[in-house]
Amino acid sequence: MMLSRTGLLLLILISAFICAPSTGAAEDRLAQAMRALEADSFTAALELSSVRQPNPWLEVYRLSLRAESFLETDDSTGGAECAVSALRLISGGGAKDHPLEGGLIDLAVHCSGPEICLPFVTDRISSRLRPGTLLLIGRHYLETGDSAAAAATITLASRRRPRIGDMELLSELAVSGALAAPGISSETVASLASAAINAGDKETSELLIDLIRSAGEYSWLAELLDADLLASAGSKTKALTRYRAVFNSDKYPVEGKKQALQRLAGLQYRMKRYRDASTSYRTYGLYYPDDPLAEMSTDRSARLEVASGRWEAAAATWSRIADAGPGSLIGREAILGMAVVLEKTGRKSEAYKVLVDNLSGIRGRLRAAYLYWIVRTCGDEQLRSDHALILEGQAAWSFYAIALGDGTGFLNADDERNAIPSISVLESDSRKLSFPGSGVPLDHPALGAFRYFASEKMKREAAGCMRGYIKSLDNTGKKECVGSLYGEARESGLESLCLELAVKYDDLFAGRKDYIEFLYPFAYGSEIDLYSKERELPPELILAVIREESRFDEAVESAAGAWGLMQVMPSTGDWIGGKLGKSEVTLSDLRDPVFNISAGCWYLRFLLDRADESLVAALAAYNAGHGRMRSWKKRLSPHMDPLAAVELIGPSETRQYVRRVLDSMAAYNRQTSTIRK
């Protein structure tokens, strides 16, 4: 049968439509390609990503995965071409504020060198580059005679702390004399030397130290780095001697003496010579009272005296800060610590006076702490009642307010108020909340990319695209559609993004009493219901730890290398995995919400069993390690007086962490109280 000319054309068009890859098909292949890359199937990733994406944001993802796959298959030319094509698409405005921009520059530089990427390296993006990339760019600037740009780039690299993989390049720069170029300061070289010492690279460390010594002016810095190198090699006693020699020498400047004393105190602390460390820190505060580190050093000295059971000596040391007037947040924390010690040693009236005298200007969580202890130390019944009303009015969500009204029993995991409600029920109810601003979102490629990745359950990529879209909203000043975005993020299980939106657009909640429900969302209800019962943990505790550790981001990695919702270190994960009958724990396991919550809950129960059920002690150990829990528990009795134990925790980071988690737990407690009733 013969077809007419019209029929033949129609058949050709239909065939072309059927055979040509559709946008949807291309998108499906992109997700498959990205999963192939994650599984180290680089050839498959290249085959699946051959079709160009019409959405520029998705096209950047396609080009990026191809660049990485080419690099892994030893095709650096193909990798560089794809990376540069993606960077041109971003810089041309098609995918502005794309989250892969910094990583693409890293890829391109390592594929073909820095020159091809220099047009894309701006001040904004430089801070997001890896230190090794910055060193390569800095070397290129040196080779082309741009010493000013080289100095700026290498200085930035030194602040980013080069890693073990960067040591070979760093050694080459040191041997070639490149780091002696004009504009590269001895302080920058010292920072690079410290990175080499931390990486365990003795040879590179010595090269950099010799470079500083040859400059002459900073011979004291070379001496301190030599001592650092000794300490890292295990010769700690010799290092102490070198630090003391610099501090006691008349030939070194005051700055050298200051740094020597700080290093001396820090090493004494790591060696558990707490009395000696306390003396060194106190000496720093006495010798250099106007130095920015003076308050911190005096506070550390006092806290180490508390650690040694010398309460009166601690109060006397802290009193130096009180007498001079605190000049920083650390100083105000010190005043609070002093007041607690005074109260614990029977000097309530003195504690009350120092707190009241220093309350002005204090805000936030620390103000709630001050107000709680003012109430606790006040000797006048009417004044105490007035102070209590102020605390309840200004910090109703705080755990300090709960402790004042209901006692501190809830700070122990075995308290009857910590009965277990169903988090799944509350999670379901919370999804019905109406976020302000429900206008229709403006069309944007970042939003299209978000919806694509959300449909593929690729949360990290979806969140990155949504953040890019939010930046575009900020540029236009339009916030009418924020509520709709929140709803889409919540439906996609992106709790971390929901929390970001609630914090960023808090002005939309003016007068709304349900704001707390957006700031402290319920998520992972089935996992928390399961493991809270299995490990006999308050579910509010699990939610609070997740919120403060990861902000509900399943794939987040900390600077220390902890992963996932409850920030489990790989070594801890291996140990817990063995306890749970799992022979091997991978990074994929740590990013998996089910395993991560299971491991985190197991660890919390492990810590609570050793802390007499004290949440304060367990949280401090969760943050800082459980090695010193026994002595800390004996000294501060956190089960008996948890609020005093909070204020007297030594490391500031751990003290702030415990307060944040307890405040989050208090906020969740307020929401779950209706279920308990």
Give yes or no for a contact between 309 and 345, defined as CB atoms under 8 angstroms apart: no
In single-letter form, the type of residue at position 486 comes to: Y
Higher pLDDT, 222 or 514: 222
Per-residue pLDDT, 27: 66
Per-residue pLDDT, 25: 61
Per-residue pLDDT, 110: 84
Residue 542 falls within a domain, yes or no? Answer: yes
Among 167-181, 408-422, 500-514, 645-659, the range with the most confident prediction by mean pLDDT is 645-659
Give yes or no for a contact between 405 and 392, defined as CB atoms under 8 angstroms apart: yes
Say yes or no: 439 and 580 in one domain.
Answer: no
Mean pLDDT for 618-622 is: 94
Residue 564 dihedral angles phi and psi, to the nearest 5°: 80, -170
Instruction: Name the pLDDT band for 438 (thresholds 50, 70, 90).
Output: confident
In single-letter form, the type of residue at position 605 comes to: R
pLDDT over 60 (residue 9): no
Residue with tokens 């995918």: 95
Say yes or no: 669 and 591 in one domain.
Answer: yes
Per-residue pLDDT, 7: 46
Of 456, 482, 513, which residue sits at a domain end? 513
Higher pLDDT, 457 or 127: 457
Say yes or no: 497 and 590 in one domain.
Answer: no
Listed residue (275, 262, 183) closest to 224, CA to CA: 262
Question: Per residue in 39-55, is it b (16+ CB within 10 Å) or e — as a string?
Answer: eeebebbbebbebebeb
Listed residue (93, 104, 108, 91) closest to 62, CA to CA: 104
Per-residue pLDDT, 121: 85
Among 72-81, 425-434, 466-475, the range with the most confident prediction by mean pLDDT is 72-81
Instruction: Name the pLDDT band for 3 (thresholds 50, 70, 90).
Output: very low
Per-residue pLDDT, 5: 42
Say yes or no: 78 and 34 in one domain.
Answer: yes
Which structure tokens are listed for 664? 């989050």
Alpha-carbon distance of 374 to 378, in angstroms, equals 6
- The mean-pLDDT minimum among 111-125, 128-142, 640-654 falls in 111-125
Mean pLDDT for 255-284 is: 96
Say yes or no: 560 and 653 in one domain.
Answer: yes
Cα distances (Å, whole numbers) of residue 476 to 97, 378, 479: 14, 52, 9
pLDDT over 50 (residue 555): yes
Higher pLDDT, 3 or 672: 672
Residue 207 falls within a domain, yes or no? Answer: no
Say yes or no: 495 and 532 in one domain.
Answer: no
Mean pLDDT for 247-263 is: 96
Per-residue pLDDT, 15: 37
Residue with tokens 């170029």: 181
Say yes or no: 459 and 539 in one domain.
Answer: no
pLDDT over 60 (residue 19): no
Average pLDDT value for the chain: 89
What CATH number is associated with residue 531? 1.10.530.10
Alpha-carbon distance of 66 to 82, in angstroms, equals 7
Alpha-carbon distance of 154 to 140, in angstroms, equals 11
Residue 618 falls within a domain, yes or no? Answer: yes
Percent pLDDT > 70 in the chain is 94
Say yes or no: 626 and 504 in one domain.
Answer: no
Alpha-carbon distance of 665 to 246, in angstroms, equals 48
Say yes or no: 503 and 530 in one domain.
Answer: no
Residue 578 falls within a domain, yes or no? Answer: yes
Of 513, 548, 569, which residue sits at a domain end? 513
Higher pLDDT, 44 or 12: 44
Per-residue pLDDT, 570: 94
Residue 179 falls within a domain, yes or no? Answer: no
Domain housing 480: 434-513
Beta-ladder partners of 412:
614
Say yes or no: 54 and 83 in one domain.
Answer: yes
Residue 537 dihedral angles phi and psi, to the nearest 5°: -120, 145
User: How many independent structural domains does the chain possess?
Assistant: 3
Percent pLDDT > 90 in the chain is 67
Per-residue pLDDT, 10: 36
Alpha-carbon distance of 602 to 596, in angstroms, equals 10
Per-residue pLDDT, 414: 67
Which tens digits make up the pLDDT trace of 162-204? Answer: 888 899 999 999 888 889 888 899 999 999 999 999 999 999 9
pLDDT over 90 (residue 496): yes
Mean pLDDT for 228-247 is: 97
Alpha-carbon distance of 467 to 474, in angstroms, equals 10
Say yes or no: 507 and 650 in one domain.
Answer: no
Question: First-to-last CA distance in the chain?
Answer: 81
Residue 479 falls within a domain, yes or no? Answer: yes
Per-residue pLDDT, 442: 79
Per-residue pLDDT, 20: 37
Helix, strand or coil, per DSSP, at residue 253:
coil
Per-residue pLDDT, 181: 87
Higher pLDDT, 637 or 595: 595
Of 76, 99, 126, which residue sits at a domain end? 126
Give yes or no for a contact between 156 and 127, defined as CB atoms under 8 angstroms apart: yes
Residue 204 falls within a domain, yes or no? Answer: no
pTM of the model: 0.89
Which amino acids are annotated catalytic?
549
Residue 574 falls within a domain, yes or no? Answer: yes
Listed residue (420, 464, 417, 337) closest to 34, CA to CA: 464
pLDDT over 90 (residue 626): no
Instruction: Name the pLDDT band for 461 (thresholds 50, 70, 90).
Output: very high
Say yes or no: 662 and 562 in one domain.
Answer: yes
